[in-house]
Chains A and B, each alone.
Chain A
Amino acid sequence: MNAEVNVADAERWASALGGAALAAWGLRQLKEDRSPAGAMIAAAGAGLIVRGATGHCPIYSAAGFNTADTDTRVALAGSRGINVEHAVTINRTPEELYAFWRRFDQLPRFMSHLVSVKQMDNCRSHWVAKAPAGRTVEWDAEIINEIPGELIAWRTLENADVVSAGSVRFKGAPGGRGSEVRVRLQYGPPAGRLGAVIAWMFGEEPSQVIQEDLRKFKQLMEAGETPTIEGQPRGRQSVLNYD
């Protein structure tokens, strides 16, 4: 099999070991009572072994995932918590988009859960995010992978209260039609006080929140501003009563 490697190392090992255990268990079930479920479990286990051995996951491939080089889940050693991926096409070059994003202090202009991001040096930054009741949570992050004009990946520092990682990839769209921007964002842990804060930040549909944030990024990059009706006149009987 010469399919491309799209599964990260740690995940490959997990796949192979988990797959082996699953296959063994499935085969035992099959031997004991000839259940079709046993056969299916064994087959699934075998699939995981192949995935681990080859580093290629057909499901990842179909979904357009590639965790081998930018996997924030590897960085966090787990896949729990907020874990979303979203893509948008923007009518600017990858270099222009990269240059805007690389200045992390601009992220709060389109990422609704952030209050501010300050760059401490070329690699490290200090993040402040919104929390319930007008409070904030803060953490430090560092860039863990970067290819100018193409990729930025970051994660929180070891001792931070919030465990978070993200990556953004910029790729020229076919036919010179701007760039495809793919963002992956992860927050953990899911439990405890900070878990509740993080759940609050993204509401019930984290993916929708990130989608709207990316839409704002596109609007800023293309139109130079985001469209709004907030503050425009309305008549009486409206939610906003002016009288």
Chain B
Amino acid sequence: MKALVWHATNDVRVERVPDPTILRPRDAIVKITSSAICGSDLHLLNGFIPTLQAGDILGHEFMGEVVEVGRENSRLKVGDRVVVPFTIACGRCFFCEKQLWSLCDNSNPNAWMAEKLYGYATSGLFGYSHLTGGYAGGQAQYARVPFADVGPIKVPGHLSDEQVLFLSDILPTGYMAAENCDIQPGDVIAVWGAGPVGQMAIKSAFLLGAERVIAIDDVPERLRLALTESGAEVINVDDEAVFERLKALTGGRGPDACIDAVGLEAHGATLYAYLDKAKTAAFVATDRPNALRQAIHACRKGGIVSIPGVYGGLLDKIPFGAAFQKGLTFRMGQTHMMRYMKPLLDRIERGEIDPSFVITHRLSLDDAPKGYEMFKEKKDHCIKVVLKPHSTTVH
């Protein structure tokens, strides 16, 4: 089959690799009909996530048709149309039973590695470095899905791929970010990063009853989309001082909750942002938490900071004094996918949300490296790229 393979920082290629096979009794093999490039894939492309190996297949937002199932998998049948969540969970450990699916005890074959870095290992993820299992990803024509009797959700035929594809990651991720804000009537939610996850968080915040949502970014077309698609107010960090603007917009009180949908590669023009860049270049720090700093600083007293943006290592100059003195609550982590996929599928079916509005580009798998490049450089107003692994001409 064909697959997108990581070779080195800024070097991904499409090449022929062996087809996946069933390796464990609960596995399934999925023929992939649609697969997306995620903002967090850019962290891999840019070399921010350690333990990636040359030859690894990327991709963790995919869906398709079941073509083979393992002997212990009684939930899926050949021919089922499924969306596959990016987290892998056994469904039977303490954490899965508590619905903390992304903290599954049993799905990461390299648990020892994660234990060295984080104390305890979290769940396996598709196509996201060997720290989270080294599972081959879904920017390919086929994928092996472990514990496929737990994760994949069957989707009805009358919904298009594009309507349901984002159940694989960004819709549940944005939704959990908004849910973590514990939204009360009258609440104002500020969202750093109006990329695909930020857009989902903005929509979800409105769905969950937010009075107002303020989107913060430096990419004009993303801010425009947040405004036209969801009715968010916008702050362009290049034009305005974020903290002062947020205060002005909230009558001096500050946002009730702040969502950091940017994560470890935030960039900005502050002194700290330049220091972060120097430190990560010199490997003194690993992550650049500029958006997180702003979110902590701007959040109202007693507010919530919700973090769907990915962090992987050590952060520096976090204004912890501000967090403590203002009595902030922090909520974060990889999304507990299986908690949200069914309710969100129901919302899609009822027409309450159509996440396909973020898609700007549709490419064949052969053009995936071009898609990475466009997404990274925000060329051609690129916000979200969807790949079609089994067609050669897509437009």
Query: Which chain A residues have a beta carbon within 8 Å of chain B's beta carbons?
Result: 89, 91, 177-178, 208, 211-212, 215, 218-219, 222-240, 242
Residues of A within 8 Å of B147, CB to CB, are 223
B129-173: which have CB < 8 Å to A?
133-136, 140, 144, 146-147
Residues of A within 8 Å of B284, CB to CB, are none
- Verify B17–A234 contact, CB threshold 8 A: yes
Partner of B106, one of A223, A229, A232: A223
- Verify A227–B146 contact, CB threshold 8 A: yes
Partner of A223, one of B19, B92, B136: B92
Could you give 23 example pairs across A and B, Cβ below 8 Å? A89-B94, A91-B94, A177-B94, A222-B92, A222-B93, A223-B93, A224-B72, A226-B24, A227-B109, A227-B133, A233-B1, A233-B3, A233-B136, A233-B140, A234-B5, A234-B56, A234-B136, A235-B13, A235-B17, A235-B56, A236-B55, A239-B53, A240-B55
- Verify A208–B17 contact, CB threshold 8 A: no
CA–CA, A238 and B25, complex, Å: 26
Q: Which residue of B lies closest to A92 (CB)?
A: B92
Residues of B within 8 Å of A242, CB to CB, are 17-18
Residues of A within 8 Å of B72, CB to CB, are 224-225
CB-CB under 8 A for A235 and B109, given A222-B92, A225-B72, A230-B23: no
- Does residue B21 face the partner (Cβ distance < 8 Å to A)? yes
Min CB–CB distance A239 → chain B (angstroms): 8
B348-363: which have CB < 8 Å to A?
none
Most buried by A among B3, B20, B55: B55
Min CB–CB distance A223 → chain B (angstroms): 4
Most buried by A among B91, B106, B107: B106
- Verify B7–A237 contact, CB threshold 8 A: yes
Residues of B within 8 Å of A177, CB to CB, are 94
CA–CA, A208 and B144, complex, Å: 29
- Verify B94–A236 contact, CB threshold 8 A: no
- Verify B23–A231 contact, CB threshold 8 A: yes
- Does residue B238 face the partner (Cβ distance < 8 Å to A)? no
CB-CB under 8 A for A223 and B90, given A228-B24, A229-B133, A234-B55: yes
CA–CA, A180 and B124, complex, Å: 24
CA–CA, A172 and B97, complex, Å: 18
5 nearest A-B residue pairs (beta carbon): A238-B55, A235-B5, A223-B90, A235-B55, A233-B17
- Verify A212–B112 contact, CB threshold 8 A: yes
CA–CA, A29 and B88, complex, Å: 64
CA–CA, A91 and B124, complex, Å: 19
CA–CA, A97 and B55, complex, Å: 39
- Verify A232–B136 contact, CB threshold 8 A: yes
CA–CA, A230 and B19, complex, Å: 14
B73-118: which have CB < 8 Å to A?
88, 90-94, 97, 105-109, 111-112
Give the number of chain B interface residues (Cβ < 8 Å).
45
Residues of B within 8 Å of A218, CB to CB, are 105-106
- Does residue B26 face the partner (Cβ distance < 8 Å to A)? yes
Residues of B within 8 Å of A226, CB to CB, are 24, 109
Min CB–CB distance B295 → chain A (angstroms): 35
CB-CB under 8 A for A234 and B109, given A223-B92, A228-B23, A229-B133: no
- Verify A178–B94 contact, CB threshold 8 A: yes
Min CB–CB distance B187 → chain A (angstroms): 35
- Verify B136–A229 contact, CB threshold 8 A: yes
CA–CA, A235 and B54, complex, Å: 8
- Does residue B229 face the partner (Cβ distance < 8 Å to A)? no
- Verify A238–B94 contact, CB threshold 8 A: no
Min CB–CB distance A83 → chain B (angstroms): 21
Residues of B within 8 Å of A208, CB to CB, are 112
CA–CA, A212 and B113, complex, Å: 11
- Verify B105–A238 contact, CB threshold 8 A: no
Q: Which residue of A lies closest to B7 (CB)?
A: A237
Residues of B within 8 Å of A233, CB to CB, are 1, 3, 17-20, 57, 136, 140
CA–CA, A218 and B55, complex, Å: 30
Min CB–CB distance B41 → chain A (angstroms): 15
CA–CA, A187 and B24, complex, Å: 33
Most buried by A among B7, B105, B112, B146: B105
CB-CB under 8 A for A91 and B92, given A224-B72, A236-B5: yes
Min CB–CB distance A220 → chain B (angstroms): 9
Min CB–CB distance B201 → chain A (angstroms): 31
- Verify B107–A227 contact, CB threshold 8 A: yes
Residues of A within 8 Å of B144, CB to CB, are 232
Q: Which residue of A lies closest to B24 (CB)?
A: A225
Residues of A within 8 Å of B106, CB to CB, are 218-219, 222-223, 227
CA–CA, A242 and B3, complex, Å: 14
CB-CB under 8 A for A238 and B18, given A223-B92, A227-B124: no
Residues of A within 8 Å of B18, CB to CB, are 233, 242
Q: Which residue of A lies closest to B21 (CB)?
A: A231
Partner of A225, one of B7, B13, B25, B93: B25
- Verify B94–A237 contact, CB threshold 8 A: no
- Verify A228–B109 contact, CB threshold 8 A: yes
Residues of B within 8 Å of A89, CB to CB, are 94
- Verify A235–B15 contact, CB threshold 8 A: yes
Q: Which residue of A lies closest to B136 (CB)?
A: A232
Q: Which residue of A lies closest to B26 (CB)?
A: A225
- Verify B94–A235 contact, CB threshold 8 A: no
Q: Which residue of B lies closest to A173 (CB)?
A: B94
Residues of B within 8 Å of A238, CB to CB, are 53-56
Q: Which residue of A lies closest to B91 (CB)?
A: A223
- Verify B93–A91 contact, CB threshold 8 A: yes
Min CB–CB distance A161 → chain B (angstroms): 32
